[in-house]
Amino acid sequence: MAQHLITSALPYINGIKHLGNMVGSMLPADVYSRYLRQRGHDVLYICATDEHGTPAELAAKERGIPVAEFCAEAHDAQKAVYDGFQLAFDYFGRSSSPQNVEITQHFARRLQENGFIEERAIRQVYSPADGRFLPDRYVEGTCPHCGYDKARGDQCENCTRVLDPTDLIGPRSAISGSTDLEVRETTHLFLLQSALQGEVEEWVARHEDEWPQLASSIARKWLTEGLHDRAITRDLDWGVPVPADTWPELAAEGKVFYVWFDAPVEYIGATKEWADQDPANRDWKSWWFEAADVRYTQFMAKDNVPFHTVMFPATELGVREPWKMVDYVKAFNWLTYYGGKFSTSQKRGIFTDQALEILPADYWRYFLIANAPESDDTSFTWEHFAATVNKDLADTLGNFVNRVLSFSRKRFGDEVPAGKEAGDAEARLGEEIARLLGEYESQMEALQFRKAASALRALWSAGNSYLEEKAPWLEIKTDPEAAALTLRTAMNLIHLYAVVSEPFIPASARSMRSAFTLAAGDTATWVTAEEARSLATVPAGTPFTVPPVLFAKIAEEDLDTYRARFGAAE
């Protein structure tokens, strides 16, 4: 049994996330965590809301409420959606927590002691109309690289290039819209990333051959371009305060740490939150400090890769303490909506709360993972979504479960029938199921989600092929004992499907498992190759019920409604 630490990129506090955010980080992390738990590993899946920075302040200002109150409400709203998606976090924390403040300030002090932080006077945008310096995200304008006219002063959402506010063409205040901006001098703390470049390069070189090509290529690109010293403080009212015991003048000015300095620390902070809220939890440091026996996997979309493969590793290395660094970075491309970007800020595409209003979580979970944007961007279309749900979930899996259980109850009653001993067809089926199960396991171990979904789909299809071959609706006419064997074997497939499908479709898996009342209770966590070959976990005489329809088909009129509500091709 291994220890697995899993984190997914922190969803920003401002607004409910869209499906692209879900498939790019939290959902695959959940699928992988569920799989590892089923295989008997010690797993800790940590996530949190990323609550500091400009958008939170702006959103709270728009609502007319204190930013702390806004973040508390938004955290609860996001958590409710993630619960609806059946995301089984061990803990879902908040980057505004006292624990994150404590650890972030500790990191900053250590970097200072080790000579990796420097105070520098810089020229920063000041808005007379607002009476304040404007942090990066408070400045908007046109990106000088791609021409996107809503670029922010820290990063262009369109081309993902990191920017400074002074790079923007036609800059304006995000608060008042004023273009009457000045550049004045102010003092900030800088992390001397340039001094850590060599160490980061050595660290990346030890991992990049193992990482997906997307993650390693982005990290290498940033290192090739060279690491630049980066300001890690901002002029904001909301954030982790610069500690007065180390930088009294800056603390007196109300400086806070830049959100991209404190947010990655929250992975550690949230683990301490998890431990503090329940004394029964293990010491949080055993996951993060001198934790060589822990396997740490991070999940994120490609725009977050530079921060997790270069910038935060530089911070951890500079602290000069044995904090756990990521072992494997699972990076994703983008899910697009009919070829255009999902966008929280521009309200384009389907948002996760809306998705759950329309259909159960398992429909979305399966579709998103089966079409995860691993090798390239993937386009969401309603037509593709409906075809996948109808073919794979409704026809291949749902129909198999309903046909088998309904037919058996009608012909043999409410218990699994006995019938003949297994024959050649069952032996062939068992070998095929064992082979496909091995393929499914190997793809899950490799974090190849689309291939894992394909193997899972093949497992479901094998049951349908067996049913068509044996045709119990014909066997029952001439050889009822043979039909009973076929149905008993098929019911064992249903139970097997319930166990191995749980990472993808947990609610439907529970429904399938609850159909059978096993005498000793249903304690199965996974299926061994031997159990897959024998298909005898559910013995004859086991009481069963027919669950409600697992997956209702999506009709063309449904698609018309969805396209009208969310738009189709642009």
Mean pLDDT calculated for residue range 371-379: 94
Collapsing DSSP to helix, strand or coil, 18 comes out as strand
Q: Which domains does the chain have, with CATH numbers?
A: 3-106+261-361+373-378 (3.40.50.620), 116-256 (2.170.220.10), 381-534 (1.10.730.10)
Mean pLDDT calculated for residue range 508-536: 95
Residue 143, annotated as binding a ligand? yes
pLDDT band at 46 (very low <50, low <70, confident <90, very high): very high
Residue 159, annotated as binding a ligand? yes
- Give the pLDDT score at 568: 66
pLDDT tens sequence across 177-225: 999 999 899 999 999 999 999 999 999 999 989 999 999 999 999 999 9
Mean pLDDT calculated for residue range 110-131: 93
- Give the pLDDT score at 191: 98
pLDDT band at 347 (very low <50, low <70, confident <90, very high): low
- Give the pLDDT score at 142: 95
pLDDT band at 348 (very low <50, low <70, confident <90, very high): low
- Give the pLDDT score at 343: 65
User: CA–CA separation, 401 vs 464, rounded Å?
Assistant: 10
pLDDT band at 346 (very low <50, low <70, confident <90, very high): low
Tokens in use for 402? 């309903």
- pLDDT of residue 250 exceeding 80: yes
Residue 71, annotated as binding a ligand? no
Mean pLDDT calculated for residue range 459-486: 97
- pLDDT of residue 384 exceeding 80: yes
pLDDT band at 61 (very low <50, low <70, confident <90, very high): confident
Tokens in use for 370? 């089966």
pLDDT tens sequence across 259-302: 999 999 999 999 999 999 988 887 899 999 999 999 999 999 99
- Give the pLDDT score at 235: 87
User: CA–CA separation, 176 vs 150, rounded Å?
Assistant: 15
Q: Is-contact 103 265, C-beta < 8 A?
A: yes
Lowest mean pLDDT among 337-346, 455-464, 506-515, 550-559: 337-346
User: CA–CA separation, 187 vs 235, rounded Å?
Assistant: 10
Mean pLDDT calculated for residue range 123-149: 89
pLDDT band at 175 (very low <50, low <70, confident <90, very high): confident
β-strand partners of 379: 336
pLDDT band at 58 (very low <50, low <70, confident <90, very high): confident
Q: What is the mean pLDDT of the chain?
A: 94
Mean pLDDT calculated for residue range 120-145: 88
- pLDDT of residue 359 exceeding 90: yes
In 64-125, alpha helices (H): 67-84, 98-113
pLDDT band at 123 (very low <50, low <70, confident <90, very high): confident
Lowest mean pLDDT among 465-469, 505-509, 519-523: 519-523
Strands (DSSP E) found in 354-490: 378-380
Residue 146, annotated as binding a ligand? yes
Q: Which of 95, 21, 9 is nearest to 309 (CA)?
A: 9
- pLDDT of residue 158 exceeding 90: no
- Give the pLDDT score at 197: 97
Residue 47, annotated as binding a ligand? no
- pLDDT of residue 140 exceeding 60: yes
User: CA–CA separation, 91 vs 282, rounded Å?
Assistant: 13
Higher pLDDT, 9 or 176: 9
